[in-house]
Amino acid sequence: MDAHQLIVCRCEEVSLAELLETAEAYQCSARELKLRTRAGMGCCGGRTCRMLVDQVIEQATGHSPSHTIPLGYQPPVRPISFQTLGGRNR
């Protein structure tokens, strides 16, 4: 499969090729790669692609990603009250 077709971040539709090109062009950290490409910023909050983004950084720069400023994980849903869920809004 071509790197342009391989989608790493399904939520933001970021391809492996886009990640590699950005990592190599800017020699960026995992956090910067996330901010530049939006990988890991979709509705899953990076739960499905974080390890792959880290591997891309390691491959492109030769350094293991340091998480001095860790990638944040966001819950995929917003909390609602049981009253709203049950349809009993007053």
pLDDT above 80: residue 50: yes
Give the DSSP H/E element, type plus range, for residue 7. strand 7-9
What whole-number distance in Å separates Cα of residue 34 and Cα of residue 66?
A: 14
Q: Given its phi and psi angles, is residue 48 left (phi above 0), alpha (psi -120 to 50 degrees) or beta? A: alpha
Q: Show the tokens assigned to 22.
A: 């950005």
Q: Between these two residues, 29 and 37, which has the higher pLDDT value? A: 37
Confidence (pTM): 0.64
Confidence band of 45 (pLDDT split at 50, 70, 90): confident
Helices (H) and strands (E) in the chain, counts: 4, 2
CB 23 within 8 A of CB 57: yes
Answer yes or no: is pLDDT of 79 > 60. yes
